[in-house]
A and B are shown apart, each in its own frame.
Chain A
Amino acid sequence: MKLKGAQILMKMLQEEGVDAIFGYPGGAVLDIYDALMDTDFKHILVRHEQGAVHAADGYARASGKVGVCLVTSGPGATNTVTGIASAYLDSIPIVIFTGQVPTHLIGNDAFQEVDIVGITRPCTKHNYLVKDVRNLAKTIKEAFHLARSGRPGPVLVDLPKDIINSTTTFKVPGEVRMRTYNPTYKPNIRQIQKIIDLVAKAKKPVIFSGGGVNLSKAHEELTKFARKARIPVTSSLMGLGGFPGTDELWLGMLGMHGTFRANMSITECDLLIGIGVRFDDRVTGKTDEFAPNATIVQIDIDPTSIQKNVPVSVPVVGDCRISLSMLNDLLEKLDLTGVDEKRAPWLKQIHDWKSTTPLAYKQGDTIKPQYVIDTLYELTGGEAIITTEVGQNQMWAAQYYHYKEPGQFISSGGLGVMGFGLPAAIGAQVGAPGKTVVDIAGDGSIQMNIQELATAVQYKLPVKVAILNNGFLGMVRQWQELFYQGRYSFTKFEHMPDFVKLAEAYGATGLRATKPEEVKKVLKLGLETEGPVIMDFVVEQEEGVYPMVPAGAPIKKMLLV
């Protein structure tokens, strides 16, 4: 069958099971957009290419499938970079197709030419410039394979206009075989046995679970393992949802804004089992004093994650789910009689930390942001998909909502991109149509990709946005308060749009709460209203996120309220 490059792209997207594409057209991709008209893909026309990538990211996390973006050359391509870098740091499977000037013009500083392959080399798992239409199908197949396998990540495919327009014989390529790429899924059983031996001996074990657990959907295996061996679980921001947030063994998140009991447990534990984590600096604080008494085990599919930031006694290279199910098999053979009594002092200690120093706030005359999230949790029964912006809103969303499954908490963890939450919510809603999707936002972040509200309205995607409106770039203000003697250098917004009117201008619904007693009513109404809604919660201006570990301090040195 003779096909044009653009048609081959469409065929291959079908082959890969793609249903949604987040994109924005332009000169270099006119032919692709023309071919798109003859297909059934759900194409979501975003309002900014950054939004397309964050939406594909949210889609991938909510659906478990690969997110797909399509943008034009030059500015279209450069606008994707922030989204790609975010997906790279969070290991989210996305394939980004960029238009490119015709091959004979590459290198000429042609109109809307940029070397996007060069620009994105350090923030993609891999990228390609297709120079021959005969390689197109195989390249697309490889791109999807790389994006979703091993440690997932974004893969970019740059498509020069002449390639898209040339014709070749199309045949669906066979299985991808790359001699340079072969991730290790199944861990070494001897290493797994070592973990079991350590579990049998440990008095004060802790599991530290991360984004890898969510990516490999290892939540059931993790829950089974933790409950059976009676080991408390904490997680990184990216790990939320990997273990039920309501379980008695749940410690809450750890790290800079971790709970007191999580950070204390890490500091006192004698065995730390890290699963799908990279021991990021926001988690470890000062590494020398991180888990100082513990034997550290680390399970990860990416060998570069292991031993990168902290020394590890038992390194295990493998997929989190497979590793945990092997652990569970071996655990069956372990005599666990008396494990309850054995763990009792440790779990009691943790319980005491929780009761003396819980996450807490006092709801007074002005709305507390934490109260908004508490109430949202209650009203949604813990069932909503929560996306976040970045800053205090993100931390409170992590602390006060409780998650039960992977893909339920969607946040730009590694890069911390303000403006992520709204487009990610749109993508998540496309990927999980029946679900309630709420973006917990700050008044600063929401203004970074507010234009995507038009996308939500156009496609009738009923995402809800809860703005915790404190009039400040709150998280930065908090650092200035604590570490710069309260010198608020350019963190106060002297002018703020009227978010209710703004919502209405976009054709969405706008609601506002200014008093604590209005919070529940507004949330309830917002959640029940059809279509996209912005809820503007005018909250306490100078509320802080606590506990807080100052950057570079040991995680037991927490500032408490």
Chain B
Amino acid sequence: MDEQRHLLSILVDNEPGVLSRITGLFSGRGYNIDSLSVAETVEPHVSRITMVTHGSPGIIEQIKKQLNKLINVIKVTDLTGMHYVLREMALIKVNAKTEHRAEILRITDIFRGQVVDVGIDHFTVKVTGDPEKIEAVINLLKPMGIREIARTGCVALPRENGNSH
């Protein structure tokens, strides 16, 4: 059956071991994690995990049910098909020879990124956006020689009904 990509927002108890219960569930049952990000919410006892996963519709259904079954999982929301805002951030350390410096700054500018660190022969560029946008920046910077990349993975929240733009 067709593989689908799903974006899950998972509220969990903010306790030691909870993340390993989640990742253990995925590795133990052979599910995929494409990206994962975790941090505390406004409630200090609760963390939000934003996860991108993929699988057949049957597997996606199982993933959601199995997550819900974990005692430390408070709520699983499948944002796929809903209205949501989604962002990822990347730090890209790129070679910056004299002849490329202007080009790198231009690309950074077009994508509303920022240079957050400069050296004699490198820039570290920060970009925020959806994963496609980040891929685009990476592709454009590749010819200059990318040294290192750090990406946060997606974070997302549903939009409020009606009064959200």
Contact, CB under 8 Å: A303 / B68: yes
Query: Which A residues lie within 8 Å of B139 (CB)?
Result: none
Taken together as a complex, chains A and B put the C-alpha atoms of A126 and B13 apart, in Å, by: 14
Taken together as a complex, chains A and B put the C-alpha atoms of A302 and B17 apart, in Å, by: 23
Contact, CB under 8 Å: B71 / A181: yes
Contact, CB under 8 Å: B24 / A121: yes
Taken together as a complex, chains A and B put the C-alpha atoms of A179 and B71 apart, in Å, by: 9
User: Could you give, for residues 286-306 of chain A, a 1 whenever the CB lies within 8 Å of some chain B CB and a 0 otherwise?
Assistant: 000000000000000011100
Indicate whether B162 reaches chain A with its CB closer than 8 angstroms.
no
In the complex formed, the residue of A with least CB distance to B21 is: A121
Indicate whether A122 reaches chain B with its CB closer than 8 angstroms.
yes
Query: Which B residues lie within 8 Å of A181 (CB)?
Result: 71
Taken together as a complex, chains A and B put the C-alpha atoms of A6 and B13 apart, in Å, by: 28
Query: Which residues of chain A from 177 to 225 have any CB-CB distance to chain B below 8 Å in the complex?
Result: 178-181
Query: Which B residues lie within 8 Å of A125 (CB)?
Result: 71
Query: Which A residues lie within 8 Å of B65 (CB)?
Result: 303-304
Taken together as a complex, chains A and B put the C-alpha atoms of A307 and B61 apart, in Å, by: 9
Contact of A304 (CB < 8 Å), options: B13, B24, B69: B69
- Count, chain A residues at interface, CB 8 A: 17
Query: Which A residues lie within 8 Å of B79 (CB)?
Result: none
Query: Which residues of chain A from 79 to 135 have any CB-CB distance to chain B below 8 Å in the complex?
Result: 117-118, 121-122, 125-126, 129
Contacts A304-B62, A304-B66 given: A117-B71 contact, CB under 8 Å?
no
Indicate whether B20 reaches chain A with its CB closer than 8 angstroms.
yes
Contacts A117-B17, A180-B13, A307-B61 given: A122-B28 contact, CB under 8 Å?
yes
Contact, CB under 8 Å: A307 / B58: yes
Q: How far is the CB of B67 from chain A (nearest CB, A)?
A: 10
Taken together as a complex, chains A and B put the C-alpha atoms of A265 and B74 apart, in Å, by: 42
Query: Which A residues lie within 8 Å of B128 (CB)?
Result: none
Query: Which residues of chain A from 158 to 188 have any CB-CB distance to chain B below 8 Å in the complex?
Result: 178-181
Contact, CB under 8 Å: A180 / B74: yes
Interface residues of B (CB under 8 A from A): 13, 17, 20-21, 24-25, 28, 58, 61-62, 65-66, 68-69, 71-74
Known contacts A129-B17, A304-B69; can you find 19 more A-B pairs with CB under 8 A?
A: A117-B17, A118-B17, A118-B20, A121-B17, A121-B20, A122-B24, A122-B25, A126-B71, A178-B71, A180-B13, A180-B71, A180-B72, A180-B73, A302-B69, A303-B65, A303-B68, A303-B69, A304-B65, A304-B66
Question: What are 12 A-B contacts with C-beta separation under 8 Å?
Answer: A117-B17, A118-B20, A121-B17, A122-B25, A126-B71, A178-B71, A179-B74, A180-B74, A181-B71, A304-B62, A307-B58, A308-B62
